[in-house]
Amino acid sequence: MRSLKTIRAGAGVLDGSAQAADVTLDADICIIGTGAGGAVAASIFARSGKTVVLLEEGGYYTSADFTARERDTEPRLYQEGMTRTTKDAGISVLQGKAVGGTTVVNWTTSFRTPEDVVDHWHKKHAVGGFAYADLIPHYEAIERRLAIAKVPYDSLNANNRTLYDGCKKLGWEVDTLRRNVFGCLQSGFCHLGCPVNAKRSMLVTMIPDALDAGARLLFRARADKLERAGGAIARVRGTLLDAEGRSATGKSFTVTARRFIVSGGAINSPALLLRSGLDSGGLVGARTFLHPVIGSSALYDEPIEPQRGAPQSAASHHFAHRGDEMGFFLEAAPWYPGLASTAAPGYGSSHADFMRQVAHTATHIAIGIDGFHDDLPGGRVTLRSSGAPLLDYAITPKMWSAFRFAQKRLAEAQFASGARKVMTLHERPVVLEGKLDEAAIDAARWEIGCVPVFTAHQMGGCPMGDDPAVSVVRSSDLRHHTIENLHVIDGSVFPTSLGVNPQESIYGLSHLMASRIAASK
């Protein structure tokens, strides 16, 4: 594979922090965002002969920058230095900010969109622009390019194996996962950027493909506003950022194009449209959905070493569909030193005791499926006074109820796999010795500030559909209903949450829609 340093130094790549003057660019297509949606689209457009400019707010980092030190990489690679939260600070939001977006820092879990989710969109959300069968060849193309393959049971690390074995023993549905890796060395530090380029992120696949085909990339460049001329977007203006991501350079950029693709993700894309005066009658930013997550730690006699091996390689969707109650799915989460120290329960000596036992601790998570039922409102993206996005996302009674139920199931699976002690992650943890105590879990303080809730999956806010009264973009090509040369291609177009890790859903939909757009006049 070609050296990323060569790519980085190429004539088509500009570092916004290094520019001595304002930057002006022109292209057939301008793509704002380089994650799962924007990078796939850029590759297809550039290889079809279009001139393409890619814009990225974050930095352009390579494997040489991925030191596996949390203090070095997390502030660089995540939105708001890994401190992004919902408005009431009830949910921590993990979202990438770098060339390649969240694909650089995710845990490689790859699911196709469940067919019943697409059927639901057809029936309830006026999505008529494609059938599930239309997505299949695009999933297949992505899976070939990204080396997506199923993990064999023998490759599970102990953290994932305990989840798998516990679910199996209880008779619950469970399976190994598919991951987008090639030549993985099982280092375990996927969320800090892959140091050996084994993760087939956009950084080492679709972005190099686009650059090879002549695309240009401007990074450390924050898109501030889309400017209209009549019924079309004429240009995007923005700020060139310094190496720390600050607006300190005093420089700006302007990109004119025949077509604009917004691919900033389910928080940043709605924010850009709102800053540009494109609220679609209040639809933009509304019905933004998360997969909210709680965790459970379990102590085993044998070593677990939860920071080593593939972070996620097993999952159970046994409780995904619970009628009127919010469903959830179970996966594993690695414990890295910094992550463990911030999420671990207790204070002082009790916290120190927990950290001393981390090597024998497995951590499993329940990922809530908020938003599939149409009575769940999700959240709303608005703007701070600075123009930065703000996600207002209430944790509803139905969600708290699901968390309590899920916490019990996590403990049940952990005891079934041989755990001798199970702890919730509450500020004052519930500690279970040898057996499940449902009453103790119910009695815990289930409220903001007492138990950590986080999410790495953001969806919605610019929903697709064929009815402009309830959607922002068309489902046939993700074109804005009223702006003729504006498309949104990322996870913000999903009309509901997915119930699975979203990266491959975004890849597949982007591949389909960009192929259609490239083939159009």
232: Cα separation from own chain's centroid: 30
Determine the number of helices (DSSP H) and then strands (DSSP E) in the chain.
13, 23
| Residue limits of CATH 3.50.50.60 in the chain | 4-65+72-147+188-288+457-519
DSSP letters, 378-403, are: -BEEEE-TTS-EEEE----HHHHHHH
Stated pTM of the model: 0.95
In angstroms, the CA 450 to CA 445 distance is 6
Q: Which amino acid is at 53?
A: V
Q: Note the residue count of the chain.
A: 521
Q: Reduced to 3 states, what is the DSSP secondary structure of residue 28?
A: strand
Helix (H), strand (E), coil (C) string for 93-147:
ECCECECCHHHHCCCCECCCCCHHHHHHHHHHCCCCCCCHHHHHHHHHHHHHHCC
Is 39 in contact with 202 (CB distance < 8 Å)?
Answer: yes
Does the CA dihedral 369-374-377-380 come out positive or negative?
positive
Dihedral-angle region of residue 89 (phi above 0 means left; psi in -120 to 50 means alpha; beta otherwise): left
Question: What stretch of H or E contains 410?
Answer: helix 397-416
**β-pairing verdict for 486-488 and 252-262:** parallel
Output the CATH code of domain 4-65+72-147+188-288+457-519: 3.50.50.60
What CATH architecture does domain 150-181+293-369+396-452 belong to? 2-Layer Sandwich (3.30)
Exposure string (b/e) for 14-37, b if CB count within 10 Å is 16 or more? bbbbebeeebebebebbbbbbbbb
How many Cα atoms are found within 13 Å in the side-chain-facing hemisphere of 421?
12
pLDDT for the residue 55 = 98
In angstroms, the CA 172 to CA 417 distance is 13
| Residue limits of CATH 3.30.410 in the chain | 150-181+293-369+396-452
In Å, how far are 37, 247, 292, 391 from 458, measured between CA atoms? 13, 26, 9, 11
Cα first-last separation, the chain: 34
Q: Which residues contact 492 (CB under 8 A, 6 or more apart)?
A: 264, 265, 266, 269, 270, 288, 459, 460, 461, 462, 463
Is 255 in contact with 239 (CB distance < 8 Å)?
Answer: no
Q: Which two tokens stand for residue 442?
A: 């119910």
Q: Reduced to 3 states, what is the DSSP secondary structure of residue 68?
A: coil
DSSP letters, 167-200, are: HHHHT---EEPEEEBSS------GGG--TTS-B-
Dihedral-angle region of residue 395 (phi above 0 means left; psi in -120 to 50 means alpha; beta otherwise): beta
Is 427 in contact with 345 (CB distance < 8 Å)?
Answer: yes
Q: Which two tokens stand for residue 487?
A: 């498309």
Q: Which residues contact 297 (CB under 8 A, 6 or more apart)?
A: 335, 344, 345, 354, 361, 362, 363, 422, 423, 425
Q: Phi, psi at residue 508, to the nearest 5°?
A: -65, -45
pLDDT for the residue 9 = 39
- Rg of the Cα atoms in the chain: 22
Please choose, from the candidates 463, 478, 471, 483, the residue with its C-alpha nearest in 3D space to the C-alpha of residue 510: 478
Q: Phi, psi at residue 407, to the nearest 5°?
A: -60, -40
Please tell me what DSSP assigns to residue 50: -
Between CA 363 and CA 152, with CA 302 as vertex, the angle to 5 degrees is 65
Q: Phi, psi at residue 432, to the nearest 5°?
A: -110, 125
What proportions of the chain, in percent to the nearest 5, are helix, strand and coil?
Answer: 35, 25, 45
In angstroms, the CA 22 to CA 10 distance is 20
Name the stretches of the chain with pLDDT < 70.
1-11, 372-375, 521
Q: Which residues contact 293 (CB under 8 A, 6 or more apart)?
A: 365, 366, 367, 368, 453, 454, 455, 456
Exposure string (b/e) for 42-53, b if CB count within 10 Å is 16 or more? bbbbbbbebbbb
Is 472 in contact with 248 (CB distance < 8 Å)?
Answer: no
In angstroms, the CA 67 to CA 247 distance is 26
In angstroms, the CA 456 to CA 281 distance is 28
460: Cα separation from own chain's centroid: 12
pLDDT for the residue 371 = 72
